[in-house]
Structures are given as C-alpha cells and as structure tokens.
Amino acid sequence: MTQDTRKRRAAEAAITEIAPLLDAKSVVGVGTGSTANAFIDALAAIKHTFDATVASSKASADRLNGHGIPVLDLNAAGEVLVYVDGADEVDGNRCLLKGGGGALTREKIVAASSERFVCIVDDSKMVDTLGAFPLPVEVVPMARGLVARALVEFGGAPEWRQEFTTDNGNIILDVHGLKIADPPALESAINDIPGVVCNGVFARNAADLVIVASHEGVHTL
Ligand code: 5RP
C-alpha cells in the first residue's frame, strides 16, 4: 500500500468519525496538505450533510470551492464543530509538529477555534520525540535575523525557506536539529521571541484524536 493510499484511508476514517456529528448547522474546519486534500475530496461526498467549512489556507479554500463546498471566513462562522488536518510528526501524547506546507498559523487558529481536533496521518509520521522534521516558524520579515539568532540559542539550525511567503505575508524559518523533549515548553518559549507569529509545535492544544493508517489497517490514538 502506498503512502498516498494510507493518507486516503486515514482521511476516509475521519469521515466515518465525524459524519454522525454533523447536521445542517455544522461548520467543519479543514486543514492543509496532501492528507487534508484527501479529506477534502472525501468530504465532497457528504457535502449536503453540513452547512459550511472554514479553511486553514487559500489552497484548501480553492479545493473546497472546486468541490462546491461553501467556505466561510472564520469570523463569520460562529462555532466550528471539528477541525481535521494532517501533520508532519505525531508523538505518543498526540502532540504534533506541523507546518511543512507553511500554513501553520492559520492551522493553529482554526484548530484553537474548534471544539475537537482530529489529526489524520499515515504511520510514517509517528515518532517517539518530535524534531527530526525541521520545525517551521512563521516570522515577520523584518525580524528574520533576530529570530534566527534566538533559535540558534535553543540549539537549532534555522534555514530561511526560499521563495516562500505565507498566506499572511510572512516568511518561514525551518529549524533543523531540535530534539523536542518538552513540546509545550518549547512551543511557548519560541512564541515569546519578538517577531515570531507562530511555530509548528502543536502541544498546548494537542490533537484530541489521531487517526493513523498503516499497512495493517487504521487505528486511533
Ligand atoms: C501544512 C501542514 C500539513 O498538515 C503537514 O505538512 C502534513 O502534510 P501532508 O499531509 O502533505 O504530509 O502542517 O502546513
């Protein structure tokens, strides 16, 4: 079974998980990336069972619109029932490392606005300790040097993601070489650096449920 097939299986399992919760007033939060794209494609089949979605990126909003699924501005949405998104790494406490696609800030905002956060991954994303995947940090452009020097103090090697601007008009520093022993503490400490908009550790508001698809089938954490 390919990785894409496993991503699709996780996305389909998320549909099975959320379908009983939906009604005509429900708003579904939708993440960003290839696994989230598989979720969007599967969501199209049940689009008449809920009201609308909120998207964590322009790319996901475009894909949802392409399926004829309504997309609301978060400020107009009221209560978001559930947020479904992929991740770059997941640990045993359902803490996540996210932002490989650069949408981490809006992902964290929509996740925090939702009653429930369901993360969908294939088993290659499961780790004992977060940090082998470079940690994305969204930074206001004028603070790039200041933030990079502070991240070196944390023991990381920041690399400016070239030719990339976030949906919010900022840059991304990908931080290599971090072993994230205490995810909530590092998440807060990086957020305290002036110029940091958001970082890709999702630990203070970890996933409520992780759906993992492997060659053996689908299991939950
Ligand atoms: C985008 C993300 C994605 O969820 C993460 O990069 C996983 O992507 P994929 O599902 O393509 O493996 O955080 O900002």
pLDDT score of 142: 98
The structure tokens 């909120």 sit at: 54
Do residues 28 and 70 lie in contact, with contact meaning Cβ atoms separated by under 8 Å? no
Using pLDDT thresholds of 50, 70 and 90, give the confidence band for residue 32. Answer: very high
pLDDT score of 206: 98
pLDDT score of 213: 98
- Structure tokens that stand for 53 in this block: 């979605």
Tell me: the pLDDT tens digits for 133-182? 999 999 999 999 999 999 999 999 999 999 999 999 999 999 999 989 99
Average the pLDDT over 86-115 and give the result. 98
Return the half-sphere exposure (C-beta side, CA atoms, 13 A cut-off) of residue 8: 7
Using pLDDT thresholds of 50, 70 and 90, give the confidence band for residue 65. Answer: very high
Average the pLDDT over 70-81 and give the result. 96
Q: Which residues contact 61 (CB under 8 A, 6 or more apart)?
A: 55, 71
Residues in the ligand 1 pocket, defined by CB under 6 Å: 31-35, 85-88, 98-104, 107
Average the pLDDT over 74-86 and give the result. 97
Do residues 187 and 135 lie in contact, with contact meaning Cβ atoms separated by under 8 Å? no
Average the pLDDT over 188-211 and give the result. 98
Ligand 1 nearest atom to the CA of residue 32, by list position = 1
* Centre of ligand 1 from the C-alpha of residue 88, in Å: 6
Q: Which residues are catalytic?
A: 107
CA 49 – CA 45 distance, rounded (Å): 9
Do residues 162 and 119 lie in contact, with contact meaning Cβ atoms separated by under 8 Å? no
Taking each continuous run of H as one helix and of E as one strand, the counts in the chain are 7, 14
pLDDT score of 84: 99
User: One-letter amino acid identity for 23?
Assistant: D
Average the pLDDT over 118-147 and give the result. 98
CA 92 – CA 48 distance, rounded (Å): 35
